[in-house]
Structure 1
Amino acid sequence: MVETVSFVFGLVAFGYLAGWIGLLKPQVGDALTDFAISVAVPLLLFRTMAGAGFDGHVPWHLWIAYFSAIAVAWIAGQLIITRVFGRDARAGVVAGLSTSFSNLVLLGIPFMLGVYGQSGFEILSLIISIHLPIMMGMSILLFALVGRSGNGGFLQLAREFVVNLFSSPLIIGILAGLAWRFSGLEMPALGTRFVDALANIAGPTALFAMGLGLRKFGISGDIRPALVIAGLKLFLMPAVALAMAKMLGLPLLSAQVVVAAASLPSGVNPYLIANRFGTGQALASNSMTIGTLFAVVTTAFWLSAVHWVYP
């Protein structure tokens, strides 16, 4: 397990190193990220949704365990930034999002495949299928409630959210895979080869691209709030996820996936949302970079903690 965790984060470090020494330009990282998110990962999700042996029931306990951890982490991050650091309510929303938004795609997918195999990835796919819509929707709602700069109101934001959601390659990949599965059609051999060829490189490409992206973002400005947010992300959220998984009686593999997903650092999405609303960009960027630096140790700790709780 330690070797696999080291390998996954090592690919991220390799991407960062390639950018740091000037071997690859930052634009390469953007292109690789676009390829991973727009082509390779959607095809991986399509293949999983089309062929996974889900047992047909709605995974309420899985979702409750994970999203309870999100709720606790979000509230804690938002309150600390506004009450302790004295930032405004809009910066508090960014902090809450950064504390609770795990990097489930670029980091989570290859991580689960490497540590828990296809079965673990299938469980993660159930979380991913509703994760992005819920987190984006909550961000839009909270920004509308606390006020926002610029033109347009909540209805305009809601329309943008719906359009962006259903034009997202990740969502399209999930829905297309489910549609194919329910159709009962068999994938042609040539189609399978095309899908496999691109889906199989999704993990390494995503990890390497993430490392290049971290080199571009870096750490700037006041890092104290970012350190607190990263700490909450790496410790509070997985602790709540583990407690909820045990209380709800999740099977061992489901508990492992929930806790591992909760222990992952924040990704680029909070920064993009902060940039969209014009506040908290440095906080989101710093907490993402700091969290990723320490996650190689803290994630391994939480994977071991699951086995302590599930003897």
Structure 2
Amino acid sequence: MYAVAVNVAPIFLLILIGWMTVKVKLFKAEAGDVLSDFVFKIAVPALIFRTLATADFHGASPFKLWLTYFTGVAITWAAGQLVTRHVFKQELRIGVIAGISSAFANNIFIGLPLVGRSVGSDGIVAISILLAVHLPIMMIAGTILMENASHKVTGGEKRGTLAVLRQVGRNLVQNPLVIAVVLGLCFNLSGLPMPLVMMTVIDQISAIAGPTALISLGMALTKYPIRGNLRIAVTMTAFKLILLPACVWVAAHALGLSPAWTAALVLTSCVPTGINSWLLANRFGIGHSVAASTISISTLFGVLTVSAWAWLLS
């Protein structure tokens, strides 16, 4: 258990440090936005590129990995949406926000550092492959479901699925994570050696990706207070921290994933809710309190559940 604590505790301590820097007014909350941009556009892409450019995939197929993870996501999202609709008697749009809050893991800011510390390079390879499709699939599904829900509730104009896919496709072409995945795989397939100077610079940037991501997340959490719809938020937190990783674990064993990839997927699925659920709520103007409360509560209790899952996997 001590070895687990050594890997997990620094993750949440760095989040706490970031949160405290804003609370004691050492930095303004806006500084976290700049730091997050650096993480998303430079640091994490550098880490993903380096990992995939030098990885040995051992002939493993990414399709089992994707199927494993998104089986868990589908079950958890459906459970979150149905419970919110039929147990808590909320309208359809709130149900969609609750569902995505229960199933959208913070893979970039917490998942990558956690897997890197706990699993190592094989785990980073698995998460990099997951990140290539995670954000697109989650945002496409969330946008389509929210637009359908809004149309049913308010009767407003509904965009077609093709229009949503076109918009997401345009965004993906400019997405730094997707670009890093493509470039890393192309470099890997080329068989070319990476120049020493280039490797040194990329290594130095990659080394700060994890700590910087966690500190910037802590700074961002000051924007997501715990308020309103607490019963829903607590339930979605339980789904996020317990149900999702349990489903991923079962699917990984059923599909015969390697121990390293299984550990990587379970660990990244058990981390707290990502801020994208709040961004979706903000875009459609509803469900802010559910998303914000779930993000903060899941982060608060995440240290316990992440430690428990890490211990079980070890």
TM bucket (normalised to shorter chain) is: over 0.9
Deviations 1:162-218 (A, max 9, x none): 111221111111111112222333322222222222121111000000001112222
Unaligned 5+ segments in structure 2 are none
How far off is 1:4 after superposition? Answer: 1.2
Counterpart residue number, 2:28: 25
Pick from 265, 277, 282: which aligns with 2:272? 265
Q: Which residue of 2 aligns with 1:183?
A: 190
| Aligned pair partner of 1:287 in 281, 291, 294 | 294
State the TM-score, normalized to the length of structure 1: 0.93
Q: Residue by residue, what CA displacement relative to the aligned partner does 1:265-290 show, whole Å, maximum 9, x if unpaired? A: 11111111221222212211110110
142, 146, 150: which one aligns with 1:143: 146
Instruction: Kindly indicate whether the alpha-carbon contact (under 8 Å) linking 1:166 and 1:172 is maintained by their aligned counterparts in 2.
Output: yes
Counterpart contact for 1:242–1:306, Cα < 8 Å: no
Taking the aligned partners of 2:259 and 2:191, their CA distance within structure 1 comes to: 31
Name the SS for the 1:147 alignment partner: helix
Q: Tell me whether 51-60 or 116-125 shows the greater mean CA deviation.
A: 51-60
- The CA deviation at 1:231 is 1.1
Given that residues 103 and 273 in structure 2 are in contact (C-alpha distance below 8 angstroms), is that contact kept between their aligned partners in structure 1? yes
Counterparts of residues 46-125 of structure 1 (less than 5 Å) = 46-125=49-128
Per-residue deviation, 1:136: 1.5
Count of aligned pairs: 307
Query: Alpha-carbon deviation of 1:151?
Result: 6.0
Query: Cα distance, 1:156 vs. partner?
Result: 3.6
Percent identical among aligned pairs is 37
Unaligned runs of 5+ in 1: none
Query: What is the identity, as a one-letter code, of the residue corresponding to 1:245?
Result: A
Between the aligned partners of 1:218 and 1:260, the Cα distance in structure 2 is 25
- Provide the C-alpha distance between the structure 1 equivalents of 2:184 and 2:64, rounded to a whole number of angstroms: 23
**Distance in 2 between the 1:94 and 1:166 partners?**
26
Structure 1 residues 66 and 108: CA distance shift in structure 2, 3 A: same
Of 115-124 and 247-256, more deviation after overlay is shown by 247-256
Of 227, 241, 245 in structure 1, the residue corresponding to residue 252 of structure 2 is: 245
Aligned to 1:193: 200
* RMSD between superposed Cα atoms in Å: 1.7
Are 2:168 and 1:165 aligned?
no
Q: Distance in 1 between matches of 2:10 and 2:91?
A: 40
Q: Does the C-alpha gap of structure 1 residues 60 and 152 become closer, same or farther in structure 2, counting only changes over 3 Å? A: closer
- Output the CA distance in 2 between the equivalents of 1:260 and 1:185: 33
CA contact (8 A) 1:234 1:264 kept: yes
TM-score where L is the length of structure 2: 0.92
